[in-house]
Structure 1
Amino acid sequence: MDQRKISVLFVCLGNICRSTMAEGVFRSIVKDQSSPYYNLIDRVDSCGTGGYHTGDEPDSRTMSTLESHGITNYTHAARKLRDRDFEEFDYIFAMDNANLSDITRWRHRSKNLSDSKAKLMLFGEFSGTGRKEVVQDPYYVGRDAFDKAYEQCKRFSTNFLEQTFPDASKTTA
């Protein structure tokens, strides 16, 4: 049974810390040819609700955290959320409640977007703990906060994939 590939967008405020962390982690899971999810995911990207860092690379602490976990091939240039994202992506994951409110308002401001296909969710709905979690902005906190964001992004990504494609891992066993 062939499933339609899905596309995923991660959103935070500036697109240099949390959403890029989530994108890098998610890509590392699904873009490996040995992954049971390899042929199930189409596009993966990230952006910010603000354009403060447009064109910038991810924060060096994001990159060093990813690298310390073996993710060494991730590149990205920060960008701002755009109207067409609501049409191009199946899932748009917000890192916290403020981001979720911002993208929900963005979608509802435009008559053309109110019926868009994207499912807007808090990424932490896939915490696996029975409660929604937010990925706190680590920018002003320090390296430990980047490590926590990595752990959350890895856990949320794994839980999302397992819940969305429950039979995928069975096909490679």
Structure 2
Amino acid sequence: MEKIIKQLPGKKKIRLLFICSGNIIRSVMAQFLFKKYLKSETQSIDKFQVDSGAVLFKNNQIDKKTKQILQNEGITVALDDFKPTYLKSKDNKHYLDEADVIIAMTSSHIRMIPKKFRSKAFLLTDLSNTTEKLPDPFGDDIKPYIESFQKIKPLIIELIEVFKKYNIIA
């Protein structure tokens, strides 16, 4: 992870790509939380292009429970316009190519991207000193969604701190 991040200072635009199975729950939470906390920490939000994508399933809309949780967090901007991105689609392969950093929810997500992109990928959980997993709550009631959100949120805050440590954000 640090090897990837150490290469970022000096870049005019940093492209982050959060990935998960369907791009309707975990990667969406990570994307919108990162944007929220980045905006509250710095004026250099324009320095980042933050996207998310699916490596396994193609979907048409954000999960309703994800949307509800993000709205409860005060995130409403762009949620209605959000469309999941299926990274295996020919039209979307540029997301992997253009990303400076790919942040996955599980190690299987990293294995699902082409090998040539794995060197710029790491797990979101690598930011903590835990072996805790980020399971997919898809199809469950709201409680596992909230639990996923509660695990992702501090990791996103830690990611912002890592970017500060390496002077990527002031």
Which bin holds the TM-score, normalised by the shorter protein?
0.7 to 0.9
Q: After TM superposition, which residue ranges in structure 1, 4 or more long, deviate above 4 angstroms? A: none
| Number of residue-to-residue matches in the alignment | 155
TM score, norm. by length of structure 1: 0.77
Of the candidates 98, 117, 129, which is equivalent to residue 88 of structure 1?
Answer: 98
1:158 aligned to 2:162?
no
Structure 2: state its 5+ residue gaps: 1-8
What SS does structure 2 have at the residue aligned with 1:160?
helix
Residues 125 and 155 of structure 2 are in contact (CA less than 8 Å); yes or no, is this contact kept in structure 1? yes
- The runs of 5 or more residues in structure 1 that have no matched partner are 109-113
Distance change >3 Å, CA 100–CA 117, structure 1 → 2: closer
Tell me which of the two structures has the higher relative contact order, counting C-alpha pairs closer than 8 angstroms and 6 or more residues apart.
Answer: 2
Measured on the aligned residues, the alpha-carbon RMSD in Å equals 2.5
In the TM superposition, 1:42-61 aligns within 5 A as 42-53=48-59, 56-61=60-65
Sequence identity (%): 25
TM-score with structure 2 setting the length: 0.79
User: How do 1:6-155 residues align onto structure 2 when only pairs under 5 Å count?
Assistant: 6-30=14-38, 32=39, 34-36=40-42, 38-39=44-45, 41-53=47-59, 56-75=60-79, 76-81=82-87, 82-103=92-113, 107-108=114-115, 114=116, 119-127=120-128, 130-155=129-154
More helix per residue: 2
* Alpha carbons of structure 1 residues 37 and 148: separation in structure 2 relative to 1, 3 Å: farther
Shift of 1:167: 6.6
Conserved 8 A contact 1:8-1:93: yes
